[in-house]
Structure 1
Amino acid sequence: MLARFITLASGTFGAAASSQFPEFSQQYLQRLGGAVDELRRFAAGFDADAAALGLTRQEALAQLAEGGAMGAQRAETMTGVLSRFQQLQADLAALQDLTPMQRVLSAARFSDPEVAAAAWASFQPAIPVSADGLIFAGGGVLAGVLAAGLLLSVLRLPFRALGLAA
């Protein structure tokens, strides 16, 4: 009786948790798009400033780095911002046309901590009514039931060794 309850509870939890992925991934993509747009504006401003002085981005960064401690710190900061922009832009390009099922296979692209934290902070769980949500819920039930079965099997091992369990 307890084993059935644990299995049912695990399956229900798995369904509830995994069915949220399609919506979370959509919200992550919206936040990612906003971050890319903002960083694009920032990078374009930097590039425009560099171009006005007849410099490439790399030349402007090098020149900035030679401008004392503040310039070196600013060059390092800008290098990080531009690198993040390129990474987020690549992630967005790779994810934006994928279905939620395909996004699971690209889960490594959901790796920006700032974007993920912002998406998670505003995320509202919902009952899945889309086909993708229901498919994820079914996968979650299966994963939950399998996890419960594995856990119960491991917990029964000592009792089986003693001949106390069937």
Structure 2
Amino acid sequence: MITFEIIIFISSLVFGISIYWLEAKSNGLYRSINKITNSKELQMKPTNRKGFIVQQEFIPRFIYVNIFFIIVSLIIYFLLPIFTLSVAYYVTALVGTMIGIYIANFIIDVKDKSEEIIDKVVDKSKDIIDDIKTKGQEAAASFSEEETTQEETSNESEAPKKSARERLKDKGLLK
């Protein structure tokens, strides 16, 4: 019996992850029900990603998943009257699905945030590289200017120089 509960738990984890992923991809069923039940002013915007599971609080998620499992258990009960469903299997499937939903929520949020961080890092690094290029060009230009000024001063220094004695005499310090 315990192995069957483990199988139910693992399959409900996978089921929870898959329904969250499918609804995060497109929430067409929720949109169509929203269009039927709400007036034009109250209908959700096209940019809104809200669904039965996605962007819902814990209680509405729990209610929607619970209603789904009640419908599935009633169908199984009427189609297979020999197979009796126990409360333990129902609770295991419900808890496993809710845990799967939150695992998928965590994974998708981490993926979205990491993509945003990577985009920010790429933009920042492009700015830094551009700054380095411009500063490098400025440094190269100033370096070449320094070389030309050094060459000019070296050309001027090649002219005949006065000795130290003559310079002191010019200043009037020596006779």
TM-score, normalization by structure 2: 0.26
Larger helix proportion of the pair: 1
Determine which structure has greater relative contact order: mean sequence separation of CA pairs < 8 Å that are 6+ residues apart, divided by chain length. Answer: 1
